[in-house]
Copies of this chain bind each other. A is one copy, B any other.
Amino acid sequence: ASAWKRAHGHKATAKLDLSGIYPPIATPFTAREDVDYQKLEENLQKYAKIPFKGLVVQGSNGEYPYLTEEEQVEVVRTVRRSLPADKLLMAGSGCESTRATVQLTEKMAAAGADAVLVVTPCFYKGKMDARALVQHFTKVADSSPVPVVLYNVPANTGLELPLDAVVHLSQHPNIVGLKDSGGDITRIGLIVHKTKTQDFQVLAGSAGFLMAAYCVGAVGGVCALANVLGGELCELERLCVSGRWEEARLLQQRLIEPNAAVTRKLGVPALKQAMQWFGYHGGACRSPLQPLTDAETQQLRGEFSSNGWL
């Protein structure tokens, strides 16, 4: 029997409530590319004033593939110390192999994660079919001491977690939701529809389609842009949840271009540059991620200023 099964048996337990907005926090580095825990804590203090549901640590925007396992865990431990108990800490723990994912999941729980976000393994993408992925996530969820959130991010992994696999996995009592960064709103609507008997929660993985995701039944979002415009995204959440769709639309529209700039177009270096402009510590990325060129910096600024944010 797995760790999870030993602990929970066949009891029906209420699933962790994921609803709300999360910034997938960036990792500040020193000039020598070491993790800058001091600056990280200063960012956390600023985030504490924003009505986030919690934080995602070791998502793609945290440059987790560039951190050692020790650093990955230590950052989670640091965040946990700062974070009020009522805020949810969701930690990335996905590795390529199942056994490594199982182990890192345990370490993340021990370091204080309330839930883990497990990305699809993707190196052997031709072999990562529904069968392989269902087995992987099932083993991880079976043994995880904390609830598991699936993480689909095809732009990085080159792989779409098949819808049938999501529906199958939604029945696992220790799998509570999905962060979907693909942006296919039809897929999101269908996942909500086909998991509606499972208390399964879908989070939009990007601010560009947050309102549309709420519209079709998502319960929140993990949005890179929340590192920069966190209050605005929480406001968008509030408008959607309270059915004020007209106001929501106007706000949503102004967020699409800044969001695209710090994600798909210019990536993490742009996110960290924009954080600087808005009073957070951003700074350089680890190599091989390069700093923005001057032209890119100007383009980035334009995307914020033309939408009235700078």
Contacts and interface: CB of A to CB of B under 8 A. Distances in A.
A99 interface: yes
A306 to B, nearest CB: 10
A165 to B, nearest CB: 12
Interface stretch (A73-81, A180-188, A225-233): A180-188
Interface string A272-290: 0000000000000011111
Given A136-B288, A212-B215, A249-B215, A66 B96 contact: yes
A2 interface: no
Contacts of A127: 267-269, 289-290
Contacts of A243: 243, 245
A256 interface: yes
Contacts of A184: 183
A66 B67 CA distance: 17
Nearest to A67: B97
B33 A99 contact: yes
A60 B122 CA distance: 12
A123 interface: yes
Q: Report, as a range, how many residues of chain A touch the other chain.
A: 35 or more
Interface in A175-213: 183-186, 189-190, 192-193, 206, 208-209, 211-212
Given A98-B286, A98-B288, A186-B256, A126 B267 contact: yes
A9 interface: no
A287 B269 CA distance: 34
A211 B253 CA distance: 17
B288 A190 contact: no
Given A126-B267, A127-B267, A97 B286 contact: yes
Q: Which 4 A-B pairs have the closest CB atoms?
A: A193-B253, A136-B288, A98-B287, A158-B158
Interface of A: 33, 60, 65-68, 96-100, 121, 123-128, 131-133, 135-136, 139, 155-156, 158, 183-186, 189-190, 192-193, 206, 208-209, 211-212, 215-217, 243, 245, 249, 252-254, 256-257, 260, 264, 267-269, 286-290
